Amino acid sequence: MEKYVSAKLHGIRVTDAKLNYHGSITIDADFFRAVDLKPLEYVDIWNKMSGARISTYVLYGEAGSKCCILNGAAARTCQKDDEIIIASSVFCEVDDIISLKPRVLVFGPGNAIIDRITYEVFRRPDGALDMAVNTGIADNDYGFPESLTSQQASALTK
């Protein structure tokens, strides 16, 4: 068993921080459902602005609200409008992550979804592991190497 990323919300903006709440992160339920994050699931949160890193559990917020609210002690790690990354993980065998195909939502201003990405791990014909990053945006500046494009990955698996 190894630890793998299982879902990610990338660049979502904090809409509020509630120190006197009992804890967790509250996010628009539609966002969590889109990447298959479950209520009370533990996630890691990385603040792109400050570098702060925490872990807490998920609370579903109102669907369609585009909210991202840090609660309790987590509220001390983020300011309103900070961009954060929320990632869940899973312990599994490599063949399980091949089947899982983790999903990522990428956010723009106003917590609008600007891209939907899938990480695809696969075996090359020689049995070696490889991966592809499948994105809906042709021109992006995510920093993914060209070797991870879906077209090249498709050629490798044939």
Question: Is residue 125 in some structural domain?
Answer: yes
Catalytic residue chosen out of the listed positions 6, 24, 88, 119: 24
Task: Give the residue numbers spanning the domain of 121.
Answer: 92-156
Is residue 65 part of the annotated active site? The answer reads no
4 catalytically annotated: no
Please tell me whether residues 75 and 116 are part of one structural domain.
no
Residue 77 within a domain: yes
Is there a single domain that holds both residue 80 and residue 98?
A: no
Q: Considering 6, 21, 50, 57, which one is annotated as catalytic? A: 57
Same domain, 106 and 79: no
Asked whether residue 118 is domain-assigned, the answer is: yes
- One domain for residues 83 and 24: yes
pTM of the complete model: 0.87
Residues β-bridged to residue 134: 118
pLDDT tens per residue, the chain (158 residues)?
999 999 999 999 999 999 998 779 999 999 999 999 999 999 999 999 999 999 999 999 999 999 999 999 999 999 999 999 999 999 999 999 999 999 999 999 999 999 999 999 999 999 999 999 998 776 666 667 676 655 444 444 44
